[in-house]
Amino acid sequence: MITTSAAFIIVVEFGSVLVCGWLLSSYLLSVYSTRRTKLDRIFGPVERAIYYLGGVNPYEEMGWKAYLRAVLALNAVEAVIGFVLLLFQGSLPLNPMHAPDMSWSLSFNTALSFSSNTNLQHYNGGSALSYLSQMAVIQFLQFTSAATGLSVGIAVFRGLTGKTKGLGNFYVDYTRTLVRVLIPLSGVAALVLIFLGVPQSLNGYTIFKTLEIGGSEVVKSGPIASLVSIMQLGTNGGGYFGSNAANPLTNPSQITNLFELALMMLIPTSLPFLFGRMLGRMKEGRTIIVASYSLYFIDLVIAFIPITHLGQGMEVRFGAASSVFWTVTTTAFTTGSVNASLSAFNPLVILAALFGMIIQATPGGIGVGAMYMLMYVIMTVFIVGLMAGRTPEYLGTKINAGDVKLAIIAFLSHPIIILIPTVITFAIGAQAAAGLGTNSLSFTQILYEYTSAAANNGSDFLGSAGNTVYFNVSTGIVMWLGRFIPIAVMLAIAGNMVQRKRYASEALRTDTFAFTAVLIVAIFILAVLTFFPFLAIGPILSYLEGFKNGF
């Protein structure tokens, strides 16, 4: 059960994030419109220089196909850069600890993982990566994948609001996201984190003799704060160290803990408000924020049903409540950073975490979370339309059979790329290579691994035990499919809708609490029932078997 004091902290955290998200949404509206602002004097020249050097024509308006081609081409090139840098990191500069070259399968997995905003890590960053790789692979891809996600989310918003000719220009959205949003915000966040104790240096690791005679310790300092800031703000989640945000160097106190939580919640929380502002109808944004936060709240309630004591696998400075709160939040926002070992938790906490990754819109990852919520809205409008015997409409435009088919493809791709690899893993016995057996516990771990990969979350049970060719390649492919199939499909829906005729009267009001309630129930039924048999033989069975104190 949750204590009053912990509930108080959670309410304060929610309150501040909602206020900051609302304020940020007003700024984001200016970033993604052509309206002139005072900040153009600072950012304008930088952006024009990038367009000039990059050969981008910023006035080109893209349809969904051109937008998607640009997304795929840029992300593919960026993944290849990451892959090559990891493969040869041993002979590249900024490697004072002499980290060796990464194997091809691990480089493949890591490059796809970070370029898809997943950040699943089958290595321990503290020893396996050079400073150059931490900066020019990990941080680089954390910035670019977050910028991609946010741009795509905005393009989908434009399609649904229907006030533009096309979906915008991907290279312009991407550049403005980096220049006006992610780099300034992470810069400030990094400095705050350093002030609060997170290291930022390039001096190599230092060995010290410790207080007791004969003892020694290695202080693994590095460019940590700059990485942690974008890893949380961009809902990436891939930590500097294997132990991620449990490591005191990345998360030294409860204050940094709550600050980092707020960072990961900030942008996904601001996007429903931005959607309302773009439409000029804040109530439509309210539907989305209320639905996503209600589902997040249900996750929290499930996770707080069992009493979690401060125990093995948790850090004392955060306490039990804060560890549970983090684990639910990091999956609800598909960030995937962890501040405690997942094996520390009751199966119900794991179940709540799985819900977040199955739904992906509670509120979900940067840009794409809002995109998934709109997918659910389209499906719900369709279901309600069928029940009421009316033509389904959303935002004054008709939802046709093609839109619904596409939304179903986006929805079904998720269980397919999770459940099939999970079954294949046990069918060919590949779990044994990661040291797992065939019980409900191992089943949960493998199910969690692919769910986390497909949802572009990245928290995992396997860690470096997952560093086998089978898991590296299979999760690598699942991460890219989980990222780009829904993006492609949602861009297609948005592209088809952007120029469709808008009507003044709406048969079905989507800005009411009644519709919001139906939406929540529909999401719960759609997402949870799809996965129920798998959840039943995984975490639910574990819970019933009475593993009260973790696995």
Partner 1 sequence: MKKSNSLSVPIRIALISLVACGLLFPGVVTGIAQLAMPVQANGSLISFNNTTIGSSLIAQEFNYSGFFHPRNDSASGLDPDITVQNATLQAARIHNVTGISIAYLDGIIKENTKYTLFFFGTAYVNVLDLNINLAEHYPSIYDRYTL
Of the candidates 18, 30, 60, 204, which one interacts with partner 1 according to CB under 8 A?
60
Of the candidates 213, 401, 427, 504, which one interacts with partner 1 according to CB under 8 A?
213
Of the candidates 63, 162, 204, 252, which one interacts with partner 1 according to CB under 8 A?
252
Nearer to partner 1, 306 or 313 (CB): 313
Residues 5-34 that bind partner 1 (CB under 8 A): 5-6, 9
8 Å CB contact between 349 and 324? yes
Give min distance, CB of 195 to partner 1, in A.
Answer: 6
Q: How many residues bind partner 1 (CB under 8 A)?
A: 89
Residue range at the interface with partner 1 (CB under 8 A); choices 318-326, 407-415, 491-499, 529-537 = 318-326
What is the distance between the alpha carbons of residues 114 and 120, in angstroms, rounded to a whole number?
8
Secondary structure of residue 299 in the 3-state scheme: helix
CA distances to 163, 243, 367 from 271, rounded to whole Å, are 18, 30, 7
8 Å CB contact between 432 and 399? no
Of the candidates 291, 340, 348, 375, which one interacts with partner 1 according to CB under 8 A?
340
Of the candidates 319, 364, 486, 550, which one interacts with partner 1 according to CB under 8 A?
319
Secondary structure string (H, E, C) spanning 305-356: CCCCCCCCCCCCCCHHHHHHHHHHHHHHCCCCCCCCCHHHCCHHHHHHHHHH
User: Does 211 contact partner 1 by CB under 8 A?
Assistant: yes
CA dihedral 253, 458, 231, 289 (to 10 degrees): -90
Give min distance, CB of 270 to partner 1, in A.
Answer: 21
User: Does 225 contact partner 1 by CB under 8 A?
Assistant: yes
Nearer to partner 1, 178 or 377 (CB): 178
User: Does 418 contact partner 1 by CB under 8 A?
Assistant: no
User: What x-and-dash track marks residues 87-126 binding partner 1 by CB under 8 A?
Assistant: ----------------------------------------
Nearer to partner 1, 227 or 489 (CB): 227
Residue with tokens 């609490």: 513
Give min distance, CB of 472 to partner 1, in A.
Answer: 23
Secondary structure of residue 397 in the 3-state scheme: strand
User: What x-and-dash track marks residues 138-177 binding partner 1 by CB under 8 A?
Assistant: -xx--xx------------------------x-x--xx--
Can you say how many angstroms the Cα of residue 352 is from the centroid of all Cα atoms in its chain? 16
| Amino acid identity, position 515 | F
Residues 229-248 that bind partner 1 (CB under 8 A): 230, 241, 243, 246-248
What is the distance between the alpha carbons of residues 222 and 205, in angstroms, rounded to a whole number?
8
The number of C-alpha atoms within 13 Å of 163 and in the hemisphere containing its C-beta is 13
Give min distance, CB of 361 to partner 1, in A.
Answer: 27
User: Does 70 contact partner 1 by CB under 8 A?
Assistant: yes
Nearer to partner 1, 131 or 382 (CB): 131
Burial (CB < 10 A; 0-12, 13-18, 19+), residue 340, is: buried
User: Does 2 contact partner 1 by CB under 8 A?
Assistant: no
Residue range at the interface with partner 1 (CB under 8 A); choices 134-142, 268-276, 404-412, 499-507 = 134-142
User: Does 221 contact partner 1 by CB under 8 A?
Assistant: yes
What is the distance between the alpha carbons of residues 237 and 244, in angstroms, rounded to a whole number?
8
8 Å CB contact between 539 and 351? yes
CA distances to 130, 261, 317, 338, 353 from 254, rounded to whole Å, are 29, 10, 6, 14, 21
Residue range at the interface with partner 1 (CB under 8 A); choices 25-33, 74-82, 362-370, 425-433 = 74-82
Nearer to partner 1, 162 or 204 (CB): 204
Give min distance, CB of 100 to partner 1, in A.
Answer: 20
Residue 507 DSSP symbol:
S
Longest dimension (CA), the chain: 80
User: Does 128 contact partner 1 by CB under 8 A?
Assistant: no
User: Does 332 contact partner 1 by CB under 8 A?
Assistant: no
Residue range at the interface with partner 1 (CB under 8 A); choices 133-141, 356-364, 418-426, 497-505 = 133-141
Secondary structure string (H, E, C) spanning 414-471: HHHHHHHHHHHHHHCCHHHHHCCCCCHHHHHHHHHHHHHHHCCCCCCCCHHHHCCHHH
CA distances to 149, 265, 275 from 154, rounded to whole Å, are 9, 17, 8
Residues 171-210 that bind partner 1 (CB under 8 A): 171, 174-175, 178, 183, 186-187, 190-191, 194-203, 206, 208-210
